[in-house]
Chain A
Amino acid sequence: MAAVTALSETPAAESAGRPRGMQARRRRRLNLFRYVVFTVFGLFFLLPLLAMARFSLEGATLGTWSLTAWKQIASYSGTGIPPLISSIEITLELAVITCAVMLVLLVPTMIWVRLRVRWLARTMEFLCLLPLTIPAIALVVGLGEIYNRLQHFSLSALMLFWVYVILALPYAYQALAAGLNAINVETLSEAARSLGASWFTVMMRVIAPNMRQAILNALLLTASLVLGEFTIAYLLLYNNLQVELYSISRNTPNAGVLFSTSLAALLLTFVLLLILSYAGRRRRGRG
């Protein structure tokens, strides 16, 4: 009987073992593919940055090392606050204002449209994605007239937040829409309503806290856009970080400065985004 059982079990065990083996092989192949893709794309992004870094550290003679190009970023012979520091300050303030306006404008509106006026969802999506299809130069031409009038009132570069909100709208919208789609908005709101919550409470205390990751993503995208924006500020004659770095590189005979400033801007943006992302993760970790 034991022999019969063993014989009858062998094919079953084999057939069960075969798919497991195949699965493991497939998983290994998939992992290998992932590593290859990751390495290729990593090199694609990293090599130009390394080349930039190397060039910015090039000494007076070929093959030597020097920090001159980096030191020249911060060299300022005038009086008062150095323009670089001032432009960093303005850019950071712009990032904060743009993020705040974006959140105040978009989060309640999107939740409200999802809960109460769903028929408006398509129109809203169209309007929010529209800036993607408009080139920056066309926006500048359109907005130039308004900003020219604003300049009569000697307003600071902080007024750029209006146009930055428009520019960041498509990215923030997509991030928030993904967050809204990930939760059962209707059931959560109905549950809260049945417990006595007002619509404001539903939005602020039930739906928005469950969109924290989406809000963080929207913030990251908005902040990165503001920190890296050059075209509009330059064309509208405002000084932000990117415009200032460009001026520094233009006003020096050392070509290495062009690369040190670009790399410095990139590193600054990267560090700021990393801080923002880390702060968000820590909050989430506490639940």
Chain B
Amino acid sequence: MTSSPVTRTLDGTARAAVEVRLEGLSRHYGPVVALDHLDLILQPGELVALLGPSGCGKTTTLRLLAGLEDADTGHITVAGKDITHVSAAKRDMGMVFQAYSLFPHMTVRQNVAFGLRLRKVGTAERDKRALEMLDLVGLSTQADRYPHQISGGQQQRVALARALAIEPQVLLLDEPLSALDAKVRAQLRDEIRRIQLDVGITTLFVTHDQEEALAIADRVGVMREGRLEQLAPPTEVYSRPATSFVAEFVGLSNRLAGEVRGGEVTVRGCKLPLVEQDVPDGQVVALVRPEAVSLASRAPDSDSGPLTGTVIAITFLGATSRVTVDLGDTRVMAQLPTSEASALAAGSRVVLAIRPDPVLVSADSDPAALAAGEDA
């Protein structure tokens, strides 16, 4: 973990970053279970990103922590103090929303100073701190503008400054980048991380964008149907997914038929190590990342090995390209450097190789499931 366990306040003093505990949290909306006995601990100064598809409960988790909704069961503890029944106004949490949430009738400076004003901070001190926060997000020159006079990315920066101005114990970010275009999104993402590390505040970041979560977080929690499927550092979530859902949700996966024998799986003639060693011998589906598949060589038309196939599509992604190869009975995606992929054309015969990274297997070897996996 790279974050500091100390929160730096604006007056230069340091205070201990806090631990946040969510224990057994449940929330129902009528018959729909939004959260199902969720347990999550945020270490002091840590940034945890909650990732998952729509309706998985990630925003509900954040709203329960913010006090904007009440949990049906469970407890929320911040710095050892139970705040489950404390109102949102008294929780001491800064929050940035998905929708633009600046108060339209106030200037940027007034927006940032709003929380300080409620805390009865004197005018001079309030203005000074508001400007310091705006400086932190690089917008001190826009202090006297109204929200409608600045861009969406700038509005979200101001919202971040406003949330941090009150020196909260916890920072909550509810998909703050989802309304922005790709370039601004990447810039602001890095800026949020820089500021979070600088301030050292415990942060919960909710997103449905896996790239965002993997890039920004100390740990990523992948959620499904109100439960945490895996909570681990980004590299581990990506390379050693705990479940097939995580493997498929975080990045693309090829679903290839294989056979487990003696603690390793054989996929189309390649022996690959397993993520989990206690898999019984038998037929399985192995989840292989596209970047673990490489181009071994060009093949003559007559070649018909298990990893020999025909290129059917090449998708340019920038530095890399995704090449889809038809192996006859299944299709495989390979992520190759664009320089290598550009030498190929649709219809080329190629021989693929699979890097022996640990793979996750599923006992489901039903051909229909394999086909569904290919479609996905």
Residues of A within 8 A of B (CB): 183-184, 187-188, 190-198, 201, 206, 209-210, 212, 287
Contact = CB atoms under 8 A, between A and B. Distances in A.
A209 B103 CA distance: 10
A196 B101 contact: no
B221 interface: no
A179 to B, nearest CB: 12
A256 B163 CA distance: 68
Contacts of A210: 103-105
A188 B118 contact: no
B103 A184 contact: no
Contacts of B316: none
B119 A187 contact: no
Contacts of A197: 89, 114, 118
B118 A194 contact: no
Contacts of A194: 66, 68, 88-89, 91, 93-95, 163, 172
Given A183-B104, A193-B87, 16 more contacts: A184-B99, A184-B100, A187-B97, A190-B95, A192-B103, A194-B89, A194-B95, A194-B172, A195-B115, A195-B118, A195-B162, A195-B166, A196-B89, A196-B166, A209-B105, A287-B105
A192 B114 contact: yes
A184 B166 contact: no
Contacts of A191: 95, 97, 101-103, 159, 162
Nearest to B88: A193
Contacts of B100: 184, 187
Contacts of B93: 194
B115 A188 contact: no
Contacts of A183: 104
A190 B97 contact: yes
A175 B97 CA distance: 28
A190 B100 CA distance: 12
A187 B99 contact: yes
Contacts of B183: none
Nearest to A190: B68
A223 to B, nearest CB: 24
B105 to A, nearest CB: 4
B103 A196 contact: no
B191 to A, nearest CB: 20
A37 B94 CA distance: 53
A17 to B, nearest CB: 30
B68 A184 contact: no
B90 interface: yes
Given A196-B90, A196-B118, A190 B101 contact: yes
A188, A192, A195, A210 pick with most chain B CB within 10 angstroms: A195
Nearest to A211: B105
B166 A188 contact: no
Contact of A190 (B88, B115, B146, B166): B88
Contacts of A212: 105
Contacts of B118: 195-197, 201
Contacts of B105: 209-210, 212, 287
A281 B105 CA distance: 15
A164 B342 CA distance: 78
A183 B122 CA distance: 30
Contacts of A187: 97, 99-101
A183 B104 CA distance: 9
27 contacts: A184-B99, A184-B101, A187-B100, A188-B103, A190-B66, A190-B68, A190-B101, A191-B95, A191-B97, A191-B102, A193-B68, A193-B87, A193-B89, A194-B66, A194-B94, A194-B163, A195-B94, A195-B115, A195-B162, A195-B163, A196-B90, A196-B118, A197-B114, A198-B89, A206-B103, A210-B105, A287-B105
A153 to B, nearest CB: 44
A192 B95 CA distance: 10
A194 B87 CA distance: 9
A94 to B, nearest CB: 31
Nearest to B68: A190
A196 B115 contact: yes
A77 B66 CA distance: 72
Most buried by A among B93, B114, B119, B146: B114
